[in-house]
Structure 1
């Protein structure tokens, strides 16, 4: 009898985590470069239930399989390209990422779906490579972000909204030369920052460090809108080449790719499923109460 109680309790925990994931997405609708997260649930191993016959014949009859509960295994980010919003600020940058990938066996261009995922005939899963701005946190660790709402401090260093240092293609901090204002800073489509001096000659400041994760599903969300690569999970991070399908837009920000309507539907579904499991737990609680306090007196 307690099997159903455990199953309902695991369902409540799973739906609570799903609810928390959707709530996180909704709270970051206005966060530049935010990528929505989906909670992936799986069932525990199923058990085969049979009725055992008498000892002499040894016959048994198979009833079927019994599920033993569900759990939230992982949270997967969706790297779908968000819309670009023009801000007009020289320190705002957005990435348009549409990098192609050839199949290792056929050599043909992989037709990714809208979510950037593809499953071939053999069941092998491929993800579209994604481009990120390369930054360094306060512990001198490399991090990757799609939030291009940068700022310039008093020393001319280009920083993220969280104060992380924006790096160039050689992993050096981007610093504006003395006397060069932010209004004079310009960028081309490959992230080359430059300005025009007094005689009208273009002077290159730095090349923004645009990193590409060939396996973005291996990146771990680190908070503050950044991702990190963990040991043992090879995301194959490399520098962007000029021939790949990624483009830098100055004066724009990539908005969150969260769908508010779908998020509200998912939020209500998680709440209803939680309430359903809760009622099952209450039913088992009443059944156990009768078994102990009423049946036990007979």
Structure 2
């Protein structure tokens, strides 16, 4: 009975974690470039149940009853990197990547400077003339003269971007978006603000960049709502099992063996 209680409680724990994941997906259904997550669940190793109640020739003999599940646990969080739907805008600082790849941005927290990667191309020009994200992270590009990786300085010029990622300002080709890809997407980790952190980025020179375009979230709201209802039903079932076992244990403690 206690084992059954543990099994049901693990179902409650994993159900709560899956609900948090689905809720986060729904909350970001309108976030530009957002990639949905799915929480993978696996079971604990089964326990083999045996007893020695059977007597053969005067000796107790082992009898295998079967296996007992010990419940479920969280395996890993998987991100769906499928491309979202494109939305055409009227802003020249809106960009989208068609196919695989990420924009590279630089974050300076005053102590360290780190590079991150994003599919969200809703950029704008800040007060210093740099192309930045909504969070103020500077978008990086390769200088056409020095090939150095540096923040893209637009100033008050007119920004035009070709499909190969080459950036022209006032008609002069000055930069190219530093678009990268990864051999193994499992190495990518979400760090907040719609950014990813990864190791060993690969230069993606065959990328197609669309200007005046944004990539919408790839969250399927209908599917997520179905998942949410399924999770809630499973949670309620495990909750009822826990309550039933608790009531049975209460009777065993308070009533069984009571002198009447």
Counterpart of 1:153 in structure 2 is 126
Match status 1:194 vs 2:194? no
Task: Say how many residue pairs are matched.
Answer: 249
Cα distance between partner residues in 2 of 1:137 and 1:39: 29
Match status 1:237 vs 2:201? yes
Counterpart of 2:145 in structure 1 is none
Counterpart of 1:175 in structure 2 is 153
- Report the TM-score, using the length of structure 1 for normalisation: 0.80
Unmatched 5+ stretches in structure 2: 143-147
- Any residues of structure 2 matched to 1:39-188 within 5 Å, and which? 39-52=39-52, 53-54=54-55, 57-97=59-99, 130-139=100-109, 140-169=113-142, 170-176=148-154, 178-180=155-157, 184-188=158-162
- Any residues of structure 2 matched to 1:185-224 within 5 Å, and which? 185-196=159-170, 202-224=171-193
- Describe the SS at the equivalent of 2:141: coil
Cα distance between partner residues in 2 of 1:207 and 1:39: 37
Question: RMSD of aligned C-alpha atoms?
Answer: 1.5
Q: Select the residue among 206, 227, 231 that pairs with 2:196.
A: 227
Q: CA deviation at 1:155?
A: 1.3
Q: CA deviation at 1:54?
A: 4.4
- Describe the SS at the equivalent of 1:287: helix
- Report the TM-score, using the length of structure 2 for normalisation: 0.92
Cα distance between partner residues in 2 of 1:50 and 1:210: 59
Unmatched 5+ stretches in structure 1: 98-129, 197-201, 230-234
Moved more, 220-229 or 48-57: 48-57
Cα distance between partner residues in 2 of 1:16 and 1:285: 20
Counterpart of 1:126 in structure 2 is none
Counterpart of 1:266 in structure 2 is 227
- Describe the SS at the equivalent of 2:9: helix
Counterpart of 1:33 in structure 2 is 33
CA contact (8 A) 1:215 1:236 kept: no
Q: CA deviation at 1:138?
A: 2.8
- Runs of 4+ off more than 4 Å: none
